[in-house]
Amino acid sequence: MRLAGGGADIIGVDIVADIPGLHYHLASQRDLQETIELIERTGRRAIVQQADVRDMDSLTTVVNDGVAALGRLDIVVANAGIFSLGAATELSDTAWQDVLDVNLTGAWHTAKATVPHIAAGGRGGSIIFVSSMAALRPPLGLAHYSASKAGVVALMKTLAAELGPQFIRVNTVNPGTVDTPMIDNDTILGAFMPELEHPTRDDRQTRLGFRADQRPACSLAASAGRHQRRRVPRVGCGPPHHRGRPADRRGLPGQELT
Ligand SMILES: NC(=O)c1ccc[n+]([C@@H]2O[C@H](COP(=O)([O-])OP(=O)(O)OC[C@H]3O[C@@H](n4cnc5c(N)ncnc54)[C@H](O)[C@@H]3O)[C@@H](O)[C@H]2O)c1
């Protein structure tokens, strides 16, 4: 919405389906329609379609069709991601692989499908990967998620070096805890605050350090021409364990959830 409000036409993809084994719902057809309407309300065009970032062929088709319709591609936000909990050695192969496939391989697919279009424009551009604070300070119970998001940081650094000569900037945004369906559900809130049966909005705010959203950071990364950083901007305060307390005193989610 922030980019549309700033004058960009939008090509969007979302899986628009749940992935079995996750403890929360992914976007629905209704969410997709609402997104289209919100973009169009800004006066910009929206080509938003169903595609799974794990599927290179369908992702490429949506991107190619979108660029053909809109004429150019300048900014890419690789945002699709999933989240689950479990002790590292007790995760199922499926739980590990699903998170790596969506969060890391999906980010790579997104770059692979889009970079040729940015490069073809000859104007440079910007790619923003949504990583996580978990990439920088991995909490307990999130080995697969943290590894996937750390992989995204490594991917960003490599692409930034490879694409810099074409004036394509590549950055990650590494949010702390953001108030979205991924986090705001009974499984995660129960893991973060097991002693509270019904955490209130205030509990969530103070205990998890919820941020309202990460759009301003993505928008900044997209627009700031000189910000080819290959460093990792940190967004928000996040929950207390993201503020530097030693790992063995964190009391983090996931310890008791396997
Ligand atoms: N919410 C947080 O606290 C938080 C913190 C750090 C990083 N992040 C990251 O921010 C990004 C956005 O997450 P969110 O919090 O808005 O969660 P969300 O679940 O609301 O949004 C994620 C979106 O990705 C889509 N998606 C999932 N798998 C997909 C796939 N295989 N192909 C296409 N689309 C797919 C979902 O349908 C959903 O619309 C994710 O990469 C997440 O890891 C979130």
Long-range contacts of 241-248 (CB under 8 A, 24+ apart): 241/137, 241/139, 242/133, 242/137, 242/139, 242/176, 242/177, 242/209, 244/137, 247/140
Is 77 inside any structural domain?
yes
| CA of 80 relative to ligand 1 center, distance in Å | 5
| 190 — pLDDT class (breaks 50, 70, 90) | confident
| 206 — pLDDT class (breaks 50, 70, 90) | confident
Q: Helices in 12-142 by DSSP H: which ranges? A: 29-41, 56-70, 93-99, 106-121
Selected residue with higher pLDDT from 16 and 187: 16
Domain encompassing residue 112: 73-242
Number of domains in the chain: 1
DSSP state of 85: -
d(CA 144, CA 138) in angstroms, rounded, equals 10
Is 55 inside any structural domain?
no
- pLDDT on residue 189: 80
Question: What is the Cβ-side half-sphere exposure of residue 212, based on CA atoms within 13 angstroms?
Answer: 2
Is 38 inside any structural domain?
no
pLDDT at position 74 over 70: yes
- Catalytic residue status for 145: yes
Is 24 inside any structural domain?
no
Is 4 inside any structural domain?
no
What CATH number has the domain bearing residue 167? 3.40.50.720
- Give the global pTM: 0.86
Is 224 inside any structural domain?
yes
What ligand 1 atom has the least distance to the C-alpha of 26?
Answer: 37
Q: What is the mean pLDDT of residues 34-62?
A: 98
Torsion-angle region of 9 (φ positive above 0: left; ψ -120 to 50: alpha; else: beta)? beta
Q: Residues 144-154: pLDDT tens digits?
A: 999 999 999 99
The DSSP result for 166-220, as a single string, is GTEEEEEEEES-B-STTTSSHHHHHHH-TT-SS--HHHHHHHH--BS-SHHHHHH
Pocket test residue of 84, 177, 178 for ligand 1, highest count of atoms within 8 A of CB: 178
Selected residue with higher pLDDT from 196 and 245: 196
Q: Residues 214-238: pLDDT tens digits?
A: 555 666 666 655 555 555 555 433 3
Report residue 135 CA to chain centroid gap: 12
Is 156 inside any structural domain?
yes
| 160 — pLDDT class (breaks 50, 70, 90) | very high
- pLDDT on residue 32: 97
Q: Atom 43 in ligand 1: which residue has the minimum CA distance?
A: 81
Is 64 inside any structural domain?
no
pLDDT at position 252 over 50: no
Beta bridge partners of 129: 78, 172
| CA of 79 relative to ligand 1 center, distance in Å | 6
Q: What is the dihedral of CA 24, 153, 234, 56, to 10 degrees?
A: -40
CB 205 within 8 A of CB 161: no
